[in-house]
A and B are shown apart, each in its own frame.
Chain A
Amino acid sequence: MYTQGLDQQGDSLKSVDEATRLAAFQKRIDAEDKIEPRDWMPEAYRKTLIRQISQHAHSEIVGMLPEGNWITRAPSLRRKAILLAKVQDEAGHGLYLYSACETLGISRDELIDQLLTGKAKYSSIFNYPTLTWADIGAIGWLVDGAAIMNQIPLCRCSYGPYARAMVRVCKEESFHQRQGFEIMLALSRGNDEQKRMAQDALNRWWWPSLMMFGPSDKDSKHSAQSMAWKIKRFTNDELRQKFVDVTVPQAHFLGLEIPDADCQWNDDTGHWDFGEIDWTEFKEVLAGNGPCNRERLQARQDAHDNGAWVREAARAYAEKQARRNAA
């Protein structure tokens, strides 16, 4: 669901003694060769990818929560079925991405542990609440829309397993985005209460969606290295502008107002201008102070704890069966 701007922390490149291998590696990258799990790769490349892919996987899994919140309350059977299918797709994305990450030499159990202990991050967007049904529309339209902007370039990422996983993920995400827009369309063509719900959802999700692209380029520490490694193809600000340019006309089509007084068409640049993002909010949510940070992690922790006896039973049964088969 989300990747850009997750590449924030980590070790810098240390392996200077491996200059020759590094040069050869960079040559392959420059030639658009795909790097595969058994190939040599710099430790920092491996770490960057583990961090990025696992954060992406965790985002899919945590992202199931705000939407899952409305499965039991979806307003029609058709909407319920679509939402169930969507949330299931996200679980599926989580699974592929954990598998892609495991090719880099880390286990899913370790990754889940990093999520639950707060060592690994997930996309901050999911730390915002889904308060009305319109939020389900807004997530599909804006959050999945932003995710697609981030992810389409990742289909060409230099690391083979990640690139291939993203091809499938992107197909499903664009379906999700259309479904979200369709929910917004129904609301914006509905009664006054529904229109109000739609506008309120846009008001709350607009800025967090812009924050999904990460810090602005001047503050993005690891962008340059990730670009050189072709893990990343566009800068945060480039993608953010692209998202704004696509989304503003869609909001107008819906008859909704972008909650930004500075949002206007700029003839000179050929782009939509937009106002300054509240970077304090961005940092606070990242630091754990978003509206739902505690709830989201607690929900995953509870599921993990409540399921411990089930996983133990499955292990114990498998061991018994193995013993029986050996006897």
Chain B
Amino acid sequence: MNDPQRFEYVVRLGDNALVLGQRLGEWIGNGPELEEEMAMGNFALDYIGQARLFLSYAAELEGAGRDEDQLAFLRDQIDFRNVLLLEQPNGDFGQTIARQFFFESYYVLFLEALTASSDKRLAEVAARGLKESAYHLRHATQWMVRLGDGTEESHQRIQQSVDELWRFTGEMFSGDEIDRWAVDNGVGPDPATLRPAWDTRVNEVLQTATLTRPDNDWMHTGGKQGRHTEHLGYLLTEMQFLQRAYPGAAW
């Protein structure tokens, strides 16, 4: 492989999209309203679409004859590179909304920066993803406020989800040598530089939603390097079942 860092960088993006798309797809049949079930299905579809673009690009970069499906269905978790936040279980509707809100608040900033990438393929995917994520973020923000400032029960539930997921938010901003490579080559932003704008947005929305920002700043990391939480293994077991059970079959 000529460009191992680029491959690694693109796989991270692809795995974020794939794992989040897989989680959101679990909402079909379980939504609190038909409209919300459709919204979750729509977001899942956006992310599976992005995952395909990123992973097929990664497969080309690798040049080892693998395709998007082999990357998605035939890697074990040690080779998955998504951030830990996205593999966390859906929980109740509020927990999914909190996960969406934290991630999309970061992702719109990230994609905005990525549209200026020196890598034209990535810039194109970013431009498309940005439109989708702007909508996802609007949806998540509205629900953060409705749930936070709704009933006593909804306030408690969403606050609990915010507290629960907070410890996974720091990883989105923690860079490593791959991120440094991306900055040096004009491929992508230094994640730490996205933090202030994220903080501002998150603080504003939490305040409007009458929610409290957790003060525990200990952050879990490792997903980007392939060290995951226990949840990912089950997600992959379910997702990869057919490809694993019938090796080499075409579907």
Contacts and interface: CB of A to CB of B under 8 A. Distances in A.
Given A73-B239, A77-B68, A88-B38, A193 B249 contact: yes
Interface stretch (B148-156, B163-171, B178-186, B197-205): B148-156
B249 A84 contact: no
Nearest to A72: B238
B149 A71 contact: no
Interface residues of A, number: 47
Interface string B207-251: 000000000000000000000000000000011011100101111
Interface stretch (B4-12, B20-28, B78-86, B113-121): B20-28
A316 B151 contact: yes
Contacts of A72: 22, 25-26, 238-239
B241 A73 contact: yes
A299 B27 CA distance: 12
Q: Is the interface of A mostly helix, strand, loop or mixed?
A: helix
Interface in A68-93: 68-69, 71-81, 84-85, 87-88, 91-92
A73 B237 CA distance: 9
Given A72-B238, A77-B48, A193-B246, 12 more contacts: A71-B44, A75-B242, A76-B73, A84-B48, A91-B41, A194-B249, A307-B33, A310-B33, A310-B147, A311-B32, A313-B147, A314-B146
B29 A84 contact: no
A168 to B, nearest CB: 15
A190 interface: yes
A76 B29 contact: no
Given A72-B239, A77-B55, A317-B145, A309 B157 contact: yes
Given A84-B25, A92-B38, A186-B251, A77 B51 contact: yes
Given A306-B32, A313-B150, A76 B25 contact: no
A115 to B, nearest CB: 12
B146 A313 contact: yes
Nearest to B23: A72
Nearest to B44: A84
Interface residues on B, range: 35 or more
B45 A88 contact: yes
A306 B240 CA distance: 28
B49 interface: yes
A81 B30 contact: no
B89 interface: no
A87 B243 CA distance: 22
Interface in B70-128: 72-73, 92-94
Nearest to B154: A313
Interface of A: 61, 64-65, 68-69, 71-81, 84-85, 87-88, 91-92, 94-95, 133, 183, 186-187, 190-191, 193-194, 299, 302-303, 306-314, 316-317, 320
Contacts of A183: 251
A187 B249 CA distance: 9
A252 B168 CA distance: 54
Contacts of A85: 45
Contacts of B251: 75-76, 79, 133, 183, 186-187, 190
Contacts, number: 138
Given A186-B250, A309-B151, A309-B157, A77 B69 contact: yes
A310 B34 contact: no
A77 B72 contact: yes
Q: Which of B41, B92, B242, B250 has the most CB of A within 10 A?
A: B41
B52 interface: yes
Nearest to B92: A306
B37 interface: yes
Nearest to A194: B249
Contacts of B153: 309, 312-313
Contacts of A95: 34-35, 38
B34 A61 contact: yes
Contacts of B239: 72-73
A112 to B, nearest CB: 9
A69 B42 CA distance: 17
A65 B173 CA distance: 38
Nearest to B43: A84
Nearest to B42: A88
A187 B242 CA distance: 13
Contacts of A68: 28-29
A130 B154 CA distance: 35
